[in-house]
Structure 1
Amino acid sequence: YHTINGTQVDDFAQNWTAEENGTYDFQVQLYDDDYNLEDEFWIRGVTLNGSSGGGGGGGDEDEWFYSHDHETEDTNGDGEVDTIEISYDPDTTCDCDVDITVYILVYDNETGDLVDWDTFEYTINDGSWDSFSETWTAYDDGTYDFQVDLYDEEDNYEDNFTITGVELSAGDEGGFNQEGGGGGDEDEWFDSWYYETEDTNEDDEDDTIEIGYEPDTTCDCDVDITVYIWVYEAETGDLVDWQTFAYTINGGKLDSFSENWTAYDDGTYDFVVDLYDDDDNYEDGFNITSVELLAGDEGGFNQEGGGEDDDEWFDEWNYDTEDATIDISYDPDTSCDCYIDIEVYVDIFDSETDDHVASLDDDHIIYNEEEDWFVQEWTAGYDGTYDFNVYLYDQEYGHEEDNFWIYDVELAEQNAAPVIDALYVD
Structure 2
Amino acid sequence: MPADLAVIGLGPYGLPLAKAAVAAGIPTLGFRTGPEAASLSPAELRRMLSGGFRHATSPAELGRVRTAVICSPTPLGADGALDLSEVEAAARALATRLRPHSTVVLESPVPPGTTEDVLRPLLEEGSGMRAGRDFHLAYSPSRVDPGNRDFHPANTPKVIGGLTPACTESAAAFYGRLTDKVVRARGLREAETVQVLETNFRHVNIALVNEMAVLCHDLGVDLWDVVRCAETKPFGFQAFRPGPGVGGHAVPQGLTAHTGRSLRMVELAQQVNSQMPRYVVQRAATLLNEHGKSARGARILLLGVTYKPDLADQQSTPAQEVAVRLLELGASISYHDPYVPSWSVLDRPVPRADSLYESAADADLTILLQQHRTYDLQGLSVKAQLLLDTRGAAPTGAAHRL
The verdict on a shared fold, with TM-score over 0.5 as the criterion, is no
Max radius of gyration: which structure? 1
TM-score (norm 1): 0.20
The answer to which structure has the higher helix fraction is: 2
TM-score (norm 2): 0.21
The answer to which structure has the higher strand fraction is: 1
